[in-house]
Chains A and B, each alone.
Chain A
Amino acid sequence: MEEYPEELRTPPVALAALVGCSDHHPAISGHLHSLQPPMNVLALPDFSKVQVVLARKAKDPAAAGDHPPGGILRRDWLLKHRTRVPAVVAAMFASDRVSGDPAQWLQVCSELEGLKAAARPRNVKLVVIVVQSSSADEINEDRMIALRKRAEVDSKYLVTYTPSDALELTQSLNRLTNTFVELANTYYRDEGRRIKTRVEKKSFSSIELNIRYCFKVAVYAEFRRDWVEALRFYEEAYRVLQEMIGTSTRLPPIQRLVEIKHVAEQLHFKVSTLLLHGGKIIEAVTWFRHHNASYKRLIGAPEAIYLHWEWMSRQFLVFAELLETSSATTQSISSVAADNPDRGLTEWEFRPAYYYQLAAHYLKKKRSSLDIALSMLVNANEIDGRAESVAPSTFVGQFSRLLEQGDGLSFQPIDDEEYIHYALAEGKRFQDSYEIIALFKKSYESYGNLKVQRMGSTCGLEIAKEYFSASDFTTAMQFFDNFAQLYRQEGWVILLWEALGYSRECSKKMGAVKNFVESSLEMASLPVSSDDIQSLGFKECGPAGPPSLPERESIHKEVLELVSGESGIRSVEESNDLNVTEGNPLHLEIDLVSPLRSVLLASVAFHEQTVKPGASTLMTLSLLSQLPLTTEIDQLEVQFNQSEYNFTITNAARPQSTSKITSGQQNNRVEIAASLSLVTNKWLRLTYGIKSEQSGKLECISVIAKLGPHFTIFCRAESPASMDDLLLWKFEDRVETYPTKDPALAITGQKVIQVEEAEPLVDLNLGDSGAALVRESFMVPVSIVARGHDIYSGELKINLVDVKGGGLFSPREIEPSTMDGHHVELLSVAGAEWEDESKKEADKINNIQQSFGLVSIPFLKIGDTWSCKLEIKWHRPKPIMLYVSLGYSPHGNEINAQKIHVHKSLQIEGKNPVLISHRFMLPFRRDPLLLSKMKAVSENNQFTSLPLNETSILILSAKNCTEVPLQVESLSVEVDEDCAATSCSIKPGSEDLANSGLLVPGEEFRKVFMVIPQVNSSTLGMGTVLLRWRRDPGSGEQVSCIQEDSVLTRHKLPDVNVELAPLTITLECPPYGILGDPFTYFIKIHNQTQLLQEVKFSLADSQSFVLSGSHNGTVYVLPKSEHILSYKLVPLASGSLQLPKVTLTSVRYSAGFQPSVNASTVFVYPSKPHFKVADQRESRTESVAAK
Chain B
Amino acid sequence: MIVCIAVVGHQNNPLYIQSFTEADDALKLHHIVHCSLDVVDERVNNPKKSGPLLNETFLGLLYPTENYKVYGYLTNTKVKFILVTTDLDVKDADVRNEQYADYIFRMLEQLHSDPAGGCVVFGCD
Contact = CB atoms under 8 A, between A and B. Distances in A.
Interface string A432-454: 00000000000000000000111
A334 B46 contact: yes
Interface string B12-50: 111101110111111110110011011100100010111
A490 B61 contact: no
Given A454-B35, A540-B24, A338 B51 contact: yes
A111 B66 CA distance: 63
Given A453-B38, A458-B31, A358 B98 contact: no
Contact of A349 (B27, B48, B63, B94): B63
A938 interface: no
Interface in A496-550: 498, 535-541
Given A537-B24, A541-B27, A335 B63 contact: no
A246 B28 CA distance: 33
Contacts of B28: 540
Contacts of B12: 490
A494 B11 CA distance: 17
Interface in B74-106: 94-95, 98
B31 A495 contact: yes
Contact of A347 (B30, B35, B42, B66): B42
Contacts of A492: 13-14, 30, 34
B18 to A, nearest CB: 7
Contacts of B14: 490-493
A334 B49 contact: yes
A491 B34 contact: no
Contacts of A731: 9, 13, 15
B65 interface: yes
A539 B22 CA distance: 11
Interface string A356-383: 0010010000000000000000000000
Nearest to A456: B38
A244 interface: no
Given A454-B35, A494-B30, A540-B24, A358 B66 contact: yes
A537 B26 contact: yes
Contacts of A341: 51-53
B108 interface: no
B62 interface: yes
- DSSP majority for the A interface? helix
A82 B18 CA distance: 58
Contacts of B66: 358, 361
B50 A338 contact: yes
A541 B39 CA distance: 25
A458 B34 CA distance: 9
A344 interface: yes
Contacts of B61: 344, 346
A461 B21 CA distance: 23
Nearest to A297: B89
Contacts of A494: 17, 27, 30
B49 A347 contact: yes
Contacts of B27: 494-495, 498, 536, 538, 540-541
A230 to B, nearest CB: 29
Contact of A539 (B24, B30, B51, B64): B24
A144 interface: no
A538 B17 CA distance: 13
Contacts of A452: 38, 42
A490 B11 contact: yes
Contact of B63 (A338, A354, A539): A354
Interface string A1037-1061: 0000000000000000000000000
A567 to B, nearest CB: 30
A763 B14 CA distance: 66
Nearest to A447: B38
A495 B34 CA distance: 9
Contacts of A1149: none
B35 A344 contact: no
A490 B30 CA distance: 13
Contacts of B48: 338
Most A C-beta atoms less than 10 A away, residue of B42, B48, B94: B42
A1130 interface: no
Contact of A455 (B22, B35, B94): B35
A339 B51 CA distance: 8
Contacts of A498: 27
19 contacts: A338-B51, A347-B50, A348-B63, A349-B64, A354-B63, A361-B66, A455-B38, A458-B35, A490-B11, A491-B14, A492-B34, A494-B27, A536-B27, A537-B23, A538-B24, A538-B26, A540-B25, A540-B27, A731-B15
Given A334-B46, A540-B28, 11 more contacts: A341-B51, A347-B49, A349-B64, A454-B35, A490-B11, A490-B12, A490-B34, A495-B34, A536-B19, A538-B27, A540-B24
Interface of B: 9, 11-15, 17-19, 21-28, 30-31, 34-35, 37-39, 42, 46, 48-53, 60-66, 94-95, 98
